[in-house]
Amino acid sequence: MKEVVVNLPHERHYPIYIGPGLLAESERLRRHVTGTKVFVITNDVVAPLYLDQLLESLRGLDVYSKILADGESHKTLDTAATIFDALIAVPCDRETTVISLGGGVTGDIAGFAAACYQRGIPYIQIPTTLLAQVDSAVGGKTAVNHPYGKNMIGVFHQPVCVISDTDTLSTLDDRQLRAGLAETIKYGLIRDPEFANWLEANVDALLTRDSAALSYAVERSCQIKAAIVSEDECERGVRAILNFGHTFGHAIETGQGYGAWLHGEAVAAGMVIAARVSNLMGWLSSADYLRTENLLQRVGLPIRAPVELTAARLIELMAVDKKVSRGTLRLILLKTVGDARIVSDYPADVIKTAIEQLRDTESISAR
């Protein structure tokens, strides 16, 4: 088992445990449970696979659970309201620990519910998808979607620990695995050229679910994310680079209807657009742009914006992005592979140009 620590002020550091068989390790789990009441939030895909195992590890505690419908389209304020109803029906007190068992959607909404119930109760993240293990379960961002903008409603609320049982990745379908690799690749692109090299050399091992390769990918991703979150918990500055590809990706997700594209898929296409913008700005070399596109394509991820969305529509959708500041959308761009920058000053039409170039060649965007 590997342990990565997210360091935060006021002794709010917390561990991320990564390894096989962790769901069954009752003692570690219980060590992080405050009080004697636990409220598990999961979804209807994950529950049949892992809920019993989790409940077994929690035996002896006073355990309640709520099973949500799976999918991004359910990450709404209305679903959060049903969680509040369930928490208060128990009734859960401030010492109750919420446990999220599932992917990014489950973790985001469970975290939001824990953050807002009685002004904040503790929660544990048990991510069961690669995307959640490498990204969404770490760092305390919680949210639900608004019809007009992804993750528009949420707060920062850090978990007490993250337990990434890499065995759960075995039941992930290929599409989910690929979506998770998109965020993994993001870390290489924004912060770690060596990790980018490693990912290029290990695409096949990752796609065939080589256990050591997946574990290393999760661990290195968490190390990079933990370092950035420790520097800037509430995204006043550098943390924004974790959103590389996300401005375009969120616009694609919102535009296509939540759930049509997986988050990681939209981020992949978004990273290609962001890389193209970086290249048009004279930053990222054409060779590195193509390298980026090629790596994502080898993983089987979309590298073009969906045909249905025009450049004008995507730009309109981006107007509500959280990185808009005083009317200007800040972009996360690559100086080189491994070096991301936050940029407010760029030519007015560079986004439109990049999107249009990448829609022109839509024949290679087949998914």
Applying CB under 8 A, which of residues 84, 167, 230, 259 lies at the interface with a second copy? 84
Name the amino acid, one letter, at 41: I
Q: Using the rule CB under 8 A, give the single segment among 49-57, 84-92, 124-132, 281-289 that binds a second copy.
A: 84-92
Choice among 66, 74, 75, 141 that is catalytic = 141
Eight-state DSSP code of residue 233? T
Nearer to a second copy, 296 or 318 (CB): 318
Examine residue 95 and tell whether it contacts a second copy (CB under 8 A): yes
- In terms of phi and psi (left: phi > 0; alpha: psi -120 to 50; beta: otherwise), the region of 38 is beta
Tokens of 309: 């969305």
141 annotated active-site: yes
Whole-angstrom distance, CA of residue 133 vs CA of residue 257: 24
Examine residue 322 and tell whether it contacts a second copy (CB under 8 A): yes
Q: How far is the CB of 88 from a second copy (least distance, A)?
A: 5
Nearer to a second copy, 18 or 317 (CB): 317
What is the H or E stretch that residue 103 is in? none
Tokens of 96: 């109750």
Q: How far is the CB of 86 from a second copy (least distance, A)?
A: 11
- Cα atoms in the 13 Å half-sphere on the side-chain side of 313: 13
Applying CB under 8 A, which of residues 17, 50, 117, 248 lies at the interface with a second copy? 117
Q: What three-state secondary structure class fits 143?
A: coil
Q: What three-state secondary structure class fits 204?
A: helix
Examine residue 234 and tell whether it contacts a second copy (CB under 8 A): yes
Only one residue has tokens 């096989």, namely 20
Q: What three-state secondary structure class fits 337?
A: coil
Q: What phi and psi, each to the nearest 5 degrees, are found at residue 285?
A: -65, 160
CA 154 to chain centre: 14
119 annotated active-site: yes
Q: Which of residues 160-219 bind a second copy (CB under 8 A)?
A: none
Whole-angstrom distance, CA of residue 193 vs CA of residue 188: 6
Examine residue 60 and tell whether it contacts a second copy (CB under 8 A): no
Q: How far is the CB of 18 from a second copy (least distance, A)?
A: 26
Q: How far is the CB of 335 from a second copy (least distance, A)?
A: 25
Q: Which residues of 21-40 are buried (b: 16+ CB within 10 A; e: fewer)?
A: ebbebeeebeebbeeebbbb
Q: Using the rule CB under 8 A, give the single segment among 90-98, 306-314, 343-351, 352-360 that binds a second copy.
A: 90-98
Examine residue 291 and tell whether it contacts a second copy (CB under 8 A): no
Applying CB under 8 A, which of residues 5, 69, 88, 312 lies at the interface with a second copy? 88
Q: Using the rule CB under 8 A, give the single segment among 162-170, 269-277, 291-299, 317-325 that binds a second copy.
A: 317-325
| Dihedral in degrees, nearest 10, Cα atoms 65, 69, 73, 74 | -30
Work out the number of other CB atoms within 10 angstroms of the CB of residue 72: 21
Applying CB under 8 A, which of residues 81, 212, 290, 312 lies at the interface with a second copy? 81
Which x/- pattern, by CB under 8 A, does the window 23-42 give for a second copy?
------------xx------
Examine residue 319 and tell whether it contacts a second copy (CB under 8 A): yes
Beta strand 324-325 with 339-343 is unpaired
Examine residue 155 and tell whether it contacts a second copy (CB under 8 A): yes
Q: What three-state secondary structure class fits 162?
A: strand
Are the C-beta atoms of residues 296 and 244 closer than 8 Å to each other?
A: no
Nearer to a second copy, 153 or 203 (CB): 153
Q: Which residues bind a second copy (CB under 8 A)?
A: 9-10, 35-36, 77, 81, 84-85, 88-89, 91, 93-95, 115-120, 141, 143, 146, 148-149, 151-157, 234-235, 319-320, 322, 324-327
Active-site residue set: 119, 141, 183, 225, 235, 239, 243, 246, 250, 263
